[in-house]
Homo-oligomer: A and B are copies of this chain.
C-alpha cells in the first residue's frame, strides 16, 4: 500500500526518512528496501534515513543540511527552526537550479562535439 502510493505520486525514488519511528516518504518509484538505514543528526534532531543510496551519500546529505542550517543560524540567531529550514531548502533548490543550468550547457556542448 505504501509503495503503491509512492509509485503513483513520486517520479523517482530517493529515500525515506523515519522520525520518531514514523516513516516519511520523500519520493520514490521502487518498493522500500532497507538496504541502508542510517541515523543522522540534523540540527539537534535524530532522523533515520533509509534508502538505496550509499551510507556515505546519506551521511553527506544530512551533514550538508545540518551545516547549512547552523551557518544561517549563526548569522541570524533569532530565526526560528522552521524558517531556518525553509531558508536552507531555498538555498539548496537555488544551488540545484543553477547547477542544472550548468549541466544543460555541458550536455549541449557534449552533443555538439559528438555531432
Contacts and interface: CB of A to CB of B under 8 A. Distances in A.
Q: For the side of the interface on A, what is the size category?
A: 35 or more
Copies in the complex: 2
Given A90-B17, A90-B42, A97-B60, A72 B24 contact: yes
A contact face: mostly helix, strand, loop, or mixed? helix
Contact of A103 (B42, B91, B103, B114): B103
Contacts of A80: 82
A53 to B, nearest CB: 8
Contacts of A22: 76, 78
Most B CB atoms within 10 A — which of A49, A62, A65, A100?
Answer: A65
Given A14-B91, A22-B78, A26-B91, A45 B97 contact: no
A49 to B, nearest CB: 7
A62 B43 contact: no
A42 B96 contact: no
Contact of A68 (B69, B72, B84, B89): B89
Given A10-B71, A65-B89, A109-B110, 6 more contacts: A24-B83, A61-B94, A85-B88, A99-B100, A110-B113, A113-B113
